[in-house]
Amino acid sequence: MNLETVLILSGIIFTIGLYGSLTKKNSIVVVMCLELMFNAVAIAVIGFSRFRPPQVLVDSDVLSPLNVLSGHMMAVFVIAIGAAEVALALALIISIYKIKGNIELTGLNNLKN
Partner 1 sequence: MSFQDFLIISPEIVISFTAISVFLLDLFINNKKFLVNVSIAGLLFSFILTLGLSNGWLIESPGVYAFFSSIKLDEFSLFFKVLIILSGVAVIGSSGEYISSNIESKGEFLGLLLLSITGMLLLVSSVELITVWVSLELTAIPLVALVALGKNDTSLEASLKFLILSAVSSVVILYGLVFLYGYSGSTYFNDIFSYISSTTSSPEDLIVLNYGLLIGIILLVLGISFKLAAFPFQMWVPDVYQGAPTPITAYLSVVSKAAGFAVLLRIIYSVLGGNDFSVILSNLFSIIAVFSMTIGNVMALRQNDIKRLLAYSTIAHAGYLLIGVASLNISGIGENLYSGPQGVLYYLAGYAFTNLTAFLLIIGVSKSIGTFELSGFAGLRKKSPLTSFVLAVSVISLLGIPPTVGFMSKIFIFSAAVNTNLTWLAIVGVINSVISAYYYLRILKIVFVDPENNQSEIKVSKSISLITLIGMIGILLLGLFPSLILEIAEIAVMSIVNI
Partner 2 sequence: MSIENIYWLILLIPFIGFLINGILFSIFFKNYSKISGFVTVTSVFISFVLSIFSLINFNDKGVQLLDSFDWLMIGDVGIKTGFLIDPLTSMMLIVVTGVSLMIQIYSIGYMASDKGYSRYFSFMALFTFSMLGLVLSKNLIHLFIFWELVGVSSYLLIGFWFKKNSAVVAAKKAFLMTRVGDFGLMVGILFIFSKGQQYLDIPTLYKGVSSGEFQGSGLLIMCILLFLGAVGKSAQFPLHSWLPDAMEGPTPVSALLHSATMVTAGVFLIGRLFPLFESSSEIMVIIAIIGGFTAVFAATMGVVSDDIKRVLAYSTISQLGYMVLALGSGFYAAAFFHLFTHAWFKALLFLSAGSVSHATGTFNMKFMGGLRKHMPITYVLTLLGALSLIGIFPFSGFWSKDEILGHIYLQNSPISMVLFILASLGVFLTALYMTRVIMLTFHGSYKGGISSENSSNSKSEDNDHPTEPHESPGIMLFPMIILGFLSVVIGFLVNPLIDLGFVSKHAFSHFLEHNLFFDDPKEFHFVFEVAIISTILAILGIVSAILVFKGKLNIKNNFVYKILINKYYFDEFYENLIVKKFFYNKIGSLLSWIDENIVDKSNAKISDFTIYLSKKMSNVQNGHLQSYGFVFFMALTVLMIVFFISNLNTGDSWLDLINKLNSEIY
Residues in contact with partner 2 by CB under 8 A are 3-4, 18, 21-23, 30, 51-52, 105-106, 108-113
Shortest Å distance, C-beta 88 to partner 1: 6
Cα–Cα distance measured from residue 83 to residue 31, given in angstroms and rounded to the nearest whole number: 11
Contacted entry of partner 1, partner 2, none for residue 62, CB cut-off 5 to 8 Å set by kind: partner 1
Distance CA 85, CA 67 (A): 27
- Cβ atoms 8, 40 nearer than 8 A: no
DSSP SS3 for 26:
strand
Q: How far is the CB of 112 from partner 2 (least distance, A)?
A: 3
User: How many other β-carbons are positioned within 10 Å of the β-carbon of residue 105?
Assistant: 15
**Nearest distance from C-beta of residue 30 to partner 2, angstroms:** 8
CA–centroid distance for 65 within its chain:
25
Q: Which of 44, 49, 34, 50 is nearest to 11 (CA)?
A: 44
Asked whether position 20 contacts partner 1 by CB under 8 A, the answer is: no
Binding site for partner 1 (CB under 8 A): 14, 21, 27, 30-31, 34, 37-38, 41, 44-45, 47-48, 52-57, 60, 62, 66-67, 70-71, 73-74, 77-78, 81, 84-85, 88-89, 92-93, 95-96, 99-100, 105, 108-113
